[in-house]
A and B are shown apart, each in its own frame.
Chain A
Amino acid sequence: MNVPTMAEMMAQGKQPEVLFWVGCAGSFDDRAKKITKAFVKILNKANVEFAVLGTEESCSGDPAKRAGNEFLFQMQAMTNIEVLNAYKVKKIVTACPHCFNTLKNEYPELGGVYEVVHHTELLKSLLDEGRITIEGGKFKGKKITFHDPCYLGRANNIYEAPRELIQKLDVELVEMKRCKTNGLCCGAGGAQMFKDAEKGTKEINVERTEDAIEVNPDIIATGCPFCNTMMTDGVKITNKEKEIEVLDIAELIANADDL
């Protein structure tokens, strides 16, 4: 796996096509790290010149902002913007819709203006440009349902890129009763990932997993490390671990290709 850092690139006098913003989950969470690696493998195979910030990356500030801590958010944002601008970054890709949303929509006013794309968008354009091919491989004929991450779907109106990628896998894409603009949250957004839920009658991720179970899929596909955690837990709680796998779209594509 080839993962150059921006510092290394700069030392060589090179400017990458795109900066891969790994995000905290993608860097530290064991499950999400697999998504990070799957995505890197695809980038490597497609010969995309990318780089990461590595140890110079820091939290985008999204969870702080959604928790109401605008100070901490802006401290994070401005520190990150200084680093990004110093490297003259033009384009950023990330596999985390929360980082994606914040970098894309909330950084520009603070001086960080970049073209920011979600990894499913980048994969879609690589596919359109013929730089990658997607084949079903071991997923051929499987039934897959896509859980829309709120920060990709409703927050940024991206519904089609992930679905088009899934359909390329020669699989049966089934929609849950609540999908796209009506998609139900996994329960992790708005900093909920980092706290217990308030008192209620049910966990949100269970409610959402039941939506998925209704359409009887082999795989629940996601495009967000937090949705991935929530849905994986949901599948465990509902005792469907043996029947249903939860995978990120990058993993689907990389695994199909045996990367």
Chain B
Amino acid sequence: MNYLDNIAFAVILIVGVGFFIKNIKKISRNIKLGKDINRKDNANKRWNNMIMIALGQSKMVKRPIAGILHIIVYVGFIIINIEVLEIIIDGLFGTHRVFSIFGGVYNFLIGSFEILAFLVLISVTVFWLRRMVVRIPRFWNKEMKGWPKNDALYILYFEMVLMSLFLIMNATDTPFQDLNAGNPVSQFLVPLFKGFNPETLHIIEQTAWWIHIVGILVFLNYLYYSKHLHILLAFPNTYFANLNVKGKLNNLEAVTNEVKLMLDPDADPYASVPEDENEVPEKFGASDVQDLNWVQLMNAYTCTECGRCTSSCPANQTGKELSPRAIMMKTRDRLEEVGANIDKNGKFIDDGKQLLNDYITPEEIWACTSCNACVEECPVNIDPLSIIMDMRRYLVMEQSAAPQELNMMMTNIENNGAPWQYNQMDRLNWKDE
């Protein structure tokens, strides 16, 4: 009978972690639906970016209040997880505070966990206040209605509850409190439980312990359904991010080949006929998630909807439909839909929908000034602009669906080598004016 607890714990742990791994595999498969792009070059620079931007949070502190609070939660999250290791060992082997054999070091560690837990509790409360009381505009854009708003709040509540449970667990652990070491925060909670008999205290402690660890496992599995995957994906996302200067937009290789052929006087006009007549010519640009590259799809899963991009977007600030955050959210929604389609049918069966039009409208796409403010702002180097540009390419090169004025601009460039209707032969007239 004594082992019942341990067996129950092991089962919960295996189910919790197993389910999480299953979902991670699904994410990985969905990301791989994207086109290939080589982001394995320049490993040193990539490691450096990951260490500075993801681990070191260098872009977070650009907005100091949110940045510092976030660092507290982040450091708390990572460090307090050492405690989870102890919880797992205790749970599996029926020990109690197994690491306490380390004596002073243990007390020091638990002491710092308590302080961190307290700071996290405060930070998360401030986060909640910023969202719900101060109502910072970027948390109230129209794409933040319904689930995205609630999702953000659930995450904050989760963290509040988990931190509180950790402190309550320590406060009700009488032998631990009797040591009076490593309890800098929980000692102040002890009076709350004054007059409880030891039996009740033990039950509270055990309950807090169980809810804490089960809560962590639930949270782990909540990640997949939430916007919170950034705690994992921020690392690969910063590693594989674009290393070129932001102004450089890739040249489409398929286009290069065709243009070279067009410009080459010696080109054999029949040479361009593909050997396999059934070969589908490469699609220019992107109209659905499969046309994007895997880094763009990973970007979509990484986005935690903080809205820094949207709050710095000139189009969004002046009331246009475009929101770079919404571009990422819609890409993820569509990717999830395509993933579910594959889960159901074994392979993707055309559902008559695509990312363009059904999720992202041309109006959003055409409102972008390509100013790179969104790319600059993103604390984890997400690149919404690249998706916008790929969709413009599809609209123009596959559908000839540019706004009329842009068509005129392009016709002018074709005819007279300038976006306006001026004769190329007049290009030097300014000299004598």
Q: Which of B247, B403, B406 contacts A151 (CB 8 A)?
A: B247
Q: Which of A54, A58, A155, A207 contacts B247 (CB 8 A)?
A: A155
Q: Which of B245, B249, B312, B370 contacts A157 (CB 8 A)?
A: B245
Q: Which residues of B contact A201 (CB under 8 A)?
A: 318-319
Q: Are B428 and A194 in contact (CB under 8 A)?
A: no
Q: Which residues of A contact B247 (CB under 8 A)?
A: 101, 104-105, 151, 154-156
Q: Are A198 and B320 in contact (CB under 8 A)?
A: yes
- Binary contact readout B272-310 vs A (1 if CB under 8 angstroms, 0 otherwise): 000000000000110000000000000000000000000
| Overall SS of chain B's interface | helix
Smallest CB–CB gap between A79 and chain B, Å? 7
Q: Which of B255, B376, B413 contacts A70 (CB 8 A)?
A: B255
Q: Are B262 and A22 in contact (CB under 8 A)?
A: no
Smallest CB–CB gap between B424 and chain A, Å? 6
Q: Are B427 and A150 in contact (CB under 8 A)?
A: no
Determine whether B81 belongs to the interface, using a CB cutoff of 8 Å to chain A.
Answer: no
Q: Which of B318, B376, B409, B410 contacts A203 (CB 8 A)?
A: B318
> Are A189 and B418 also in contact (CB < 8 A) when A59-B413, A106-B249 are?
no
- Binary contact readout A192-203 vs B (1 if CB under 8 angstroms, 0 otherwise): 111111111111
Segment of B126-134, B191-199, B391-399 engaged in the interface with chain A: B391-399
Q: Which of A55, A69, A194 contacts B397 (CB 8 A)?
A: A69
Smallest CB–CB gap between B138 and chain A, Å? 15
Determine whether B417 belongs to the interface, using a CB cutoff of 8 Å to chain A.
Answer: yes
Chain B residue, CB-CB nearest to A204: B314
Contact count A vs B, C-beta below 8 Å: 217
Q: Which residues of B contact A106 (CB under 8 A)?
A: 248-249, 251
Q: Are A194 and B405 in contact (CB under 8 A)?
A: yes
Q: Which residues of A contact B372 (CB under 8 A)?
A: 150, 154-155
- The complex places the Cα of A70 from the Cα of B418 at a distance, in Å, of 16
Q: Which of B317, B369, B431 contacts A188 (CB 8 A)?
A: B369
Q: Which residues of A contact B256 (CB under 8 A)?
A: 74, 110
**Which positions 373-391 of chain B face chain A at CB distance < 8 Å?**
373, 375-376, 389, 391
Q: Which of A59, A72, A79, A196 contacts B263 (CB 8 A)?
A: A79
Q: Are A63 and B314 in contact (CB under 8 A)?
A: no
Q: Which of A37, A150, A193, A199 contacts B320 (CB 8 A)?
A: A199
Smallest CB–CB gap between B292 and chain A, Å? 15
Q: Which of A29, A76, A104 contacts B413 (CB 8 A)?
A: A76
Determine whether B36 belongs to the interface, using a CB cutoff of 8 Å to chain A.
Answer: no
**Which positions 66-112 of chain A face chain B at CB distance < 8 Å?**
66-72, 74-76, 78-79, 82, 101, 104-106, 109-110
Determine whether A216 belongs to the interface, using a CB cutoff of 8 Å to chain B.
Answer: no
Q: Are B251 and A68 in contact (CB under 8 A)?
A: no
Q: Which residues of B contact A61 (CB under 8 A)?
A: 413
Q: Are A67 and B318 in contact (CB under 8 A)?
A: no
Segment of A127-135, A138-146, A179-187, A238-246 engaged in the interface with chain B: A179-187
For the side of the interface on B, what is the size category? 35 or more
Q: Which of A29, A65, A156, A192 contacts B249 (CB 8 A)?
A: A65
Chain A residue, CB-CB nearest to B370: A190
**Which positions 212-266 of chain B face chain A at CB distance < 8 Å?**
244-249, 251-252, 255-256, 258-260, 262-263
Q: Are A24 and B418 in contact (CB under 8 A)?
A: yes
> Are A68 and B393 also in contact (CB < 8 A) when A75-B259, A198-B315 are?
yes
Segment of B162-170, B177-185, B201-209, B360-368 engaged in the interface with chain A: B360-368
- The complex places the Cα of A74 from the Cα of B428 at a distance, in Å, of 24
Q: Are B397 and A198 in contact (CB under 8 A)?
A: no
- The complex places the Cα of A10 from the Cα of B96 at a distance, in Å, of 87
Determine whether B154 belongs to the interface, using a CB cutoff of 8 Å to chain A.
Answer: no
From B314, B389, B403, residue with most partner A Cβ within 10 Å: B314
Give me 12 A-to-B residue pairs in the complex whose CB atoms sit less than 8 angstroms apart, sorted by A's number.
A26-B430, A27-B428, A28-B420, A28-B427, A29-B420, A55-B424, A59-B413, A75-B263, A182-B312, A182-B373, A194-B406, A194-B408
Q: List 9 extra interface pairs beyond A59-B418, A68-B394, A69-B402, CB under 8 A.
A: A67-B402, A70-B255, A70-B284, A78-B260, A79-B263, A184-B373, A199-B320, A200-B320, A201-B318
Closest 8 CB pairs of A and B: A155-B247, A201-B319, A68-B392, A190-B370, A58-B417, A185-B371, A200-B319, A105-B248
